[in-house]
Amino acid sequence: MSNIRITCPSCNAIVDGDTSQTEFTCRYCGNMICFGKADAELQPQPDPVIMERYNADMMKWKNQSILIGIIKTVLSLGGWITFFMPHKFLILSVTLLFLAALLLFVGPLVIARNIPNGSTIPNGNIEPPKKLKTGIEFFLLFLFIAIVCFFIGAIFLLFQ
């Protein structure tokens, strides 16, 4: 048995195994990878150091995106709850809602701009990132978060 490295077609992570196997499970995304011995021997593989760096950059980007989403949610929720309180904290409410609105527009731009580009990795077979699509998707997500937080704040008013 000899060791083999293949690239996951779903997330482009490097999966290690031995040539006696014809199936691997990606440790990053859980995708099942099936291949024959001939397939594994013929495919040129990217440099594992570069791929590990790319995978680390992707994890860092995902964590930053999640953090920006959490901050957006906290600002929106706090802003709408303070807005609907009987003794309105108007200055606090306006400040939180202004920051949430600012993050509604700036957050997706920052997230889309910082997507790691793995398309330049030799033999990586990674598509270039679709920054516009990613920015629009995050904008819609953040808009949905703002709307949900508005209704949660309004419900908060009912229980007072």
3-class secondary structure, 17: strand
Q: What is the pLDDT along the chain (160 residues), one digit of tens a residue?
A: 466 777 777 777 777 776 677 777 787 877 777 765 545 454 667 788 888 999 999 999 999 999 999 999 999 999 998 888 877 788 888 999 999 999 999 999 999 999 999 888 887 778 889 999 999 999 999 999 999 999 998 887 787 7
pLDDT in the model for residue 2: 62
Give me the residue label for tokens 């077609």: 9
What pLDDT is attached to residue 156?
78
The total of other beta-carbon atoms located within 10 Å of residue 114's CB is 15
Q: Are 97 and 84 in contact (CB under 8 A)?
A: no
User: Helix 48-83 crosses helix 131-158 at what angle (to 10 degrees)?
Assistant: 30
**Residue 7 host element (H or E):** strand 3-7
Maximum Cα–Cα distance for the chain, whole Å?
73
Predicted local confidence at residue 116, as pLDDT: 92
